[in-house]
Amino acid sequence: MKTLNRRALLEAGLCLGVATLAPRIGIGADADSTAAPAAGAGSANQPAASVDPLAAVAPELRPPLQEMLKRPIPTDINAGNLAARRALKFLPPQKPAETPGFERRLIPGGKSAPEVPVYIINAQPRGSKKPALLHIHGGGFILGDAESQIPRLQIVARDQDCVVVTVDYRLSPEVAFPGALEDNYAALRWLHGAAQELGVDPDRIAVMGESAGGGHAAMLAIAARDRGELPLVAQVLIYPMLDDRTGSSRAVPAQIGQFIWTRGSNRFGWSSLLGTPAGSLRVPAGSVPARTASLAGLPPTFIGVGSIDLFVEEDMQYAQRLVAAGVPTELLVIPGGYHGFDLIVPDAPQSRFFLEAWSGALRRAFAPRPPILG
């Protein structure tokens, strides 16, 4: 396993758009939070003080957290420190590889919306029929960018022999729902329309995202189903952010959500997107995947998450609902895995297994379908 340090953890956290950690063992992250709790949240925001969060972490995934606990950083993201979090930069940044190539384009946005920046990776000769992945970056709806994802997505494009388009959607709280959804939908619409130019098979387009990007991917899949215009062959949701009620109006076990993305950050991220406090009785239609009345008709789904990730319960419940709705669904829960563990400790056996699982699911989704005989 590679040597891990504070810088490595922060850099990996920035891949998700976050860089947070519980400030001390034995005290829940929300003890020091300055984010205002949602009305009616009650004990949902107060994990037990006697729990040692590290005890639940898989041994192979502990070293970076132990290093971070020696030099703690502020825990929750809120309005007071959001600008500073966005300004975090680390040099030298990871540079994209020479191949596969990539380019930035501005594509038409939704109605009355600005143009949307996208990065196209591994475009193919006109008329080719390669599968394509629409990628949506993470960052709690409030952080992150598409450009920083290019080096990692180049690996995905090469491994899957596919075209990748990653979207620089507008962030909250500056733009509330449905701004980002419409940006992502515009990118999906453009990808379908530009399929021949990019060498893409329009019948083999999948959507994928991590963390908040997974939440956006789920929102996009629901919108694509409801609007009936743009088919998707699969959705790959990596520890997706699906339910605004987690840590606000719904309690979370004390050992869950202690590292990287906390209850307080979750409340702030969702409240920023929704324009109303997380956990409110009513939210804008289509904004919270977990509140969608029916999941029937969604594309085949892969969901992967760690067992102590803040999102583990909502992700498992979402997978259960997909199964009940007749959607082919694969769920993987990594014991002792925290949010972003695969990026933070990429050489751990759990991370390698996790990578192969979602990569395999995507590869199967992209496989050409044999003709139906009848």
Query: Can 211 be counted among the known catalytic residues?
Result: yes
Q: What is the DSSP code string of 105-163?
A: EEE--STT---EEEEEES---TT--EEEEEEE--STTTS--SGGGHHHHHHHHHHHT-E
Whole-angstrom distance, CA of residue 171 vs CA of residue 275: 12
Candidate list 183, 309, 315, 342, residue with the active-site label: 309
**Side chain identity at 36, as an amino acid letter?**
A
Candidate list 33, 148, 172, 211, residue with the active-site label: 211
Whole-angstrom distance, CA of residue 285 vs CA of residue 322: 19
Between vectors from CA 162 to CA 134 and to CA 359, what angle results, nearest 5°?
A: 80
**Side chain identity at 183, as an amino acid letter?**
D
Instruction: Kindly provide the b/e burial profile for residues 173-203, where b requires at least 16 CB atoms within 10 angstroms of the residue's own CB.
Output: bebbbbbbbbbbbbbbbbbbebbeebbbbbe
Query: Can 135 be counted among the known catalytic residues?
Result: no
Query: Can 33 be counted among the known catalytic residues?
Result: no
Instruction: Kindly provide the b/e burial profile for residues 333-365, where b requires at least 16 CB atoms within 10 angstroms of the residue's own CB.
Output: ebebbbbbbbbbbbebebbeebbeebbebbeeb
- Bridge partner residues of 120 (DSSP): 103, 165
Q: Are 78 and 64 in contact (CB under 8 A)?
A: no
Q: Is 85 helix (H, G, I), strand (E, B) or coil?
A: helix
Point out the residues that are catalytic: 211, 309, 339
